[in-house]
Amino acid sequence: MKLSDADFEILRDFIYNTCGMFFTLQKKYFVESRLTKRMEKTGIKVHGEYFRFLKNGSAGSVELKQLLNDLTTNETYFFRNPPQLKAMENQLLPEVAIPKEKIGFRKLRIWSAGSSSGEEAYTLAMLLLEKRETLLKNWIFEIVGTDINEEVLAKANEGVFNAYSVRHVPELYMRKYFKKESTDRFVLSPEVKKLVTFKHLNLYDDNKMIFMKTFDFIFCANVLIYFDTSSKAKVVQHYYNNLQPYGYFFVGQSESLHGVSDKFKTVHFPGGFAYKK
């Protein structure tokens, strides 16, 4: 059944109030295709009946998670943003670590928000491991990956990736941290996996966001594109509150906090930028 503009707005507003993701009318066809898939799975043939089901206790909550899984795209891969990674490794990491080490606080916390299937979080873990014999000797690392999509979190915990995901991994890292089991199956080493914890998190959930505290670095690439300005401002304020006073916040290459928050200072580096508290 074709999705009317009125029904689209009902579903759009329900999703917005639930998790802050906002779909414009231009996204109607995309939403309709994902909605049709879920309605076929549940056997429900009328949009209004499906919407009521979404609001119906635990069964509706489970179905809403499935719908959100289908509405969020998760295109990602290892070493996705080289300028950011290079700046963190050579410039920002020493800037944060050296003062902390002087006061004897050798713990580094990183948050990969919208972590999808884990490629970004695991990339950061490998970078830290490479610094363990020099800058970060005897340090404790804690990397947290969060996502609203439980299916990709399960994949992240598995730590098995295809050729597409690892296509930009430097040869050194491939040799040290992956086991190639076939042309399209690469298993991540336990040494990397143990540094990362993955959690289900709705970024629009204030009660859970306030507990994401004391991070030195926060990465949130290509996540804010799902939010309107009001939702972005709400989520970014949580990032600001949860970042250490000297910490850095990263967004995607084509994203910006312009018109969203003026609390961060912009720090430029070759090929990109970051925000500093």
Q: 0.85 cut: is pTM over it? A: yes
Chain-centre distance for alpha carbon 226 = 12
Which tokens is 260 given?
Answer: 């969203």
The answer to whether residues 111 and 242 touch, using CB atoms and an 8 Å cutoff, is yes
The answer to whether residues 115 and 149 touch, using CB atoms and an 8 Å cutoff, is no
pLDDT at 275: 98
Domains defined along the chain, listed by start: 5-71 (1.10.155), 82-276 (3.40.50.150)
pLDDT at 56: 84
Rounded Cα–Cα distance for residues 220 and 90 (Å): 20
**Segment 34-50, tens digit of pLDDT:** 999 999 999 999 999 99
Q: Is the pLDDT of residue 75 over 90?
A: no
Q: pLDDT band at 77, cuts 50/70/90?
A: very high
Give helix 5-19 / helix 47-54 axis angle, nearest 10°.
10
Closest to 212 (Cα-Cα) out of 200, 221, 223: 200
